[in-house]
């Protein structure tokens, strides 16, 4: 697989989330994790935030460096709308960031409940023989290709809470599942690797991929699309697995059942 030559782009992005409740709720406290930040590969500009019925919120940062909106809606409501839009200059470089202290990220070598190996993952690890490659970059690049070949992209196959082992047994899933399987295999080889969430040029939902620390540089690998993360991607957040990158979470009073929809649109700015 050849590295793609990057082209600096200005991408416009818009994220819309709507939540509906079958009865009114109050004391709604939420954390919204969809605030992209600058890194070596991208520069964020012109962001705009709208949150229905929320007149005050705080921007905070979690332990992984992700920027988040923390808000509280006390008034009664049965619908919640949130829109985040802006633009990003991408393609500045091929990697996300550099660190001269890779040991500070050793916790990304540890498996989580979502990536822990079972028999199917252990068998796959044995068959791919990643130890034959001379560098962590080569290992990640190889997995990017073979996982795209062997896994089926099929949203109906898996559930949000399925683990990497469960997704592999089912034969595929969505981008979250591809990323978890790749994380499991890399971490089993002692590679420092993390889950990344963001958006991709086009229209649909949010996206996920894997980042591996190779010779001090964090590179993004997208096994769902069989390619390196390039100038068509905007990185939003990172963590040990999907649980650390959930777009929205929170609590509320009212005992309501929630239905939720999201729409992401990323275009090239003219």
**Average pLDDT for residues 65-71, to the nearest whole number?**
94
Given this model, what pLDDT does residue 191 score? 98
Q: What whole-number percentage of the chain has pLDDT above 70?
A: 98
Q: What phi and psi values does residue 185 have, to the nearest 5 degrees?
A: -70, -40
Q: What whole-number percentage of the chain has pLDDT above 90?
A: 91
Cα 49 versus chain centre, distance: 20
Given this model, what pLDDT does residue 46 score? 87
CB 72 within 8 A of CB 54: yes
Rg (CA), the chain: 19
Encode pLDDT of 148-175 as tens digits: 999 999 999 999 999 999 999 999 999 9
Given this model, what pLDDT does residue 7 score? 82
Kindly report the CA angle at 261 between 259 and 263, in degrees rounded to 5?
175
* pLDDT tier at 5, thresholds 50, 70, 90: low
The domains found in the chain, sorted by start residue, are 10-91+247-268 (2.60.40.2250), 95-245 (3.10.620.30)
Put simply, whether the predicted model's pTM sits higher than 0.75 gets the answer yes
User: Closest by alpha carbon to 229, among 238, 218, 243?
Assistant: 218
């Amino acid at each position: 697989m050849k590295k793609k030559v990057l082209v600096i782009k200005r991408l416009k992005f818009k994220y819309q989330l709507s939540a509906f409740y079958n009865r009114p709720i109050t004391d709604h406290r939420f954390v919204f994790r969809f605030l992209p930040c600058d890194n070596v590969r991208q520069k964020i500009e012109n962001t705009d935030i709208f949150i229905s019925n929320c007149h005050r919120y705080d921007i905070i940062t979690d332990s992984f460096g992700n920027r988040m909106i923390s808000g509280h809606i006390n008034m009664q409501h049965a619908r919640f709308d949130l829109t985040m839009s802006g633009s990003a200059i991408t393609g500045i470089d091929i990697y996300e960031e550099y660190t001269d202290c890779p040991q500070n990220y050793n916790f990304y070598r540890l498996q989580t409940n979502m990536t822990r190996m079972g028999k199917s993952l252990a068998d796959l690890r044995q068959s791919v023989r990643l130890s034959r490659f001379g560098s962590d970059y080569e290992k990640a690049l190889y997995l990017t290709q073979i996982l795209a070949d062997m896994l089926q992209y099929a949203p109906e196959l898996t559930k949000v809470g399925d683990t990497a082992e469960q997704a592999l047994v089912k034969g595929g899933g969505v981008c979250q599942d591809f990323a978890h399987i790749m994380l499991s295999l890399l971490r089993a080889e002692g590679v420092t690797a993390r889950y990344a969430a963001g958006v991709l040029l086009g229209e649909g939902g949010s996206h996920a991929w894997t980042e591996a620390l190779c010779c001090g540089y964090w590179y993004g690998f997208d096994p769902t699309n069989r390619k390196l993360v390039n100038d068509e991607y905007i990185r939003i957040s990172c963590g040990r697995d999907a649980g650390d990158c959930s777009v929205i979470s929170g609590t509320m009073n009212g005992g309501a059942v929630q239905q939720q929809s999201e729409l992401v649109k990323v275009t090239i700015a003219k």
